[in-house]
Amino acid sequence: MSILINKDTKLVVQGITGRDGGFHAQKMLDYGTNVVAGVSPGKGGQEVLGVPIFDTVEQAVKATGANASVIFVPAPFAADAILEASYAGAELVICITEHVPVQDMIKVTPILKKNGTKLIGPNCPGLITPEESLIGILPSMIFKKGNIGLISRSGTLTYEVVNMLTHEGLGQTTCVGIGGDPVAGLYFIDLLEMYENDPETDAVVLIGEIGGDAEEQAATFIKEKMTKPVVAFIAGQTAPPGKRMGHAGAIISSGSGTAEEKIKAFYSAGVPVAKEPSEIPGSIKEKLGL
């Protein structure tokens, strides 16, 4: 099995006629993702990359049965694109766009919850179920089918850690890049619960970073609810207080959100925290008795 996406996922690409949307749509098609439609207002009836184009997501969903959407539209319009996909009935929306205003996401979040729409992102690399479906901008060649789940706030660290896991023969069920914005969709606890309920996921890698308290909440959830082993890594351990490091949400403020606090929380939950990403495959093997 997997979580969120598989070979049966039917994807619509919002912004497929743009530079980035078209480029990554081709990569997803090459991987075997079931891209059934594209959306570009005013260009309905055309075809791009062999994919039919519609003016609205609603039209695309009705015509193709699409149940997921990926968004490659500029930041000022991303929130509207997310809502359009949600109201059209997309069960899962992945927003790749970065620099989406926090105020926009604050308005969008309760509507998505009411509609029952799952959101990944914004400002994220997407997700992949190896050998089945790729949605987003992940480099497909480093992933391998297996039994390890991975959640990460960092795109580049996702790639680095997955590459190490694959080289050590540790394939993945589904890998999810959740992004590093202060207000986002599915987060650690949501995904940890999905992995816990997935019979093919035997262990989970969690890559966090400074800022916020999501990692501390995840540690509590792991301690109280999870039976499967989790290995963690926290980025930004040398970051000075008050300075944002890369992601909008990666900032230590008012003495909270430090790497030290997050690491302490994971240790208290029995979760080993790697000092370097290179330690993660070994920790996973140890947890699984390999």
For 10, 94, 186, 264, the CA distances from 176, given in Å and listed in that order, are 18, 10, 10, 24
For residues 19 and 149, what is the distance between their CA atoms, to the nearest angstrom? Answer: 31
Q: What is the pLDDT of residue 78?
A: 97
Specify whether the CB–CB gap between 174 and 2 falls below 8 A. yes
Burial of 227 (0-12, 13-18, 19+ CB in 10 A): exposed
> Which domains can be identified in the chain, with CATH numbers?
11-120 (3.40.50.720), 139-288 (3.40.50.261)
pTM confidence score = 0.92
Helix H, strand E, coil C: the string for the chain is CCCCCCCCCCEEEECCCCHHHHHHHHHHHHHCCCEEEEECCCCCCCEECCEEEECCHHHHHHHHCCCEEEECCCHHHHHHHHHHHHHHCCCEEEECCCCCCHHHHHHHHHHHHHHCCEEECCCCCEEEECCCEEEECCCHHHCCEEEEEEEECCHHHHHHHHHHHHHCCCCEEEEEECCCCCCCCCCHHHHHHHHHCCCCCCEEEEEEECCCCHHHHHHHHHHHHCCCCEEEEEECCCCCCCCCCCCCCCCCECCECCHHHHHHHHHHCCCCECCCHHHHHHHHHHHHCC
Q: What is the pLDDT of residue 259?
A: 83
Q: Is the peptide bond before 122 cis (omega within 30 degrees of 0)?
A: yes
How is residue 256 written in tokens? Answer: 């909270």
Specify whether the CB–CB gap between 64 and 90 falls below 8 A. no
Residue 247 bears catalytic tag: yes
Measure CA of the first residue to CA of the last residue in the chain; give whole Å. 22
For residues 55 and 266, what is the distance between their CA atoms, to the nearest angstrom? Answer: 47
Q: What is the pLDDT of residue 167?
A: 97
Choose, from 24, 99, 167, 247, the residue flagged as catalytic. 247
Q: What is the pLDDT of residue 256?
A: 55
| Average pLDDT by stretches of 10, the chain with 290 residues | 93 96 98 98 96 98 98 97 98 97 96 97 97 97 98 92 97 96 93 98 94 90 97 79 52 62 92 95 94
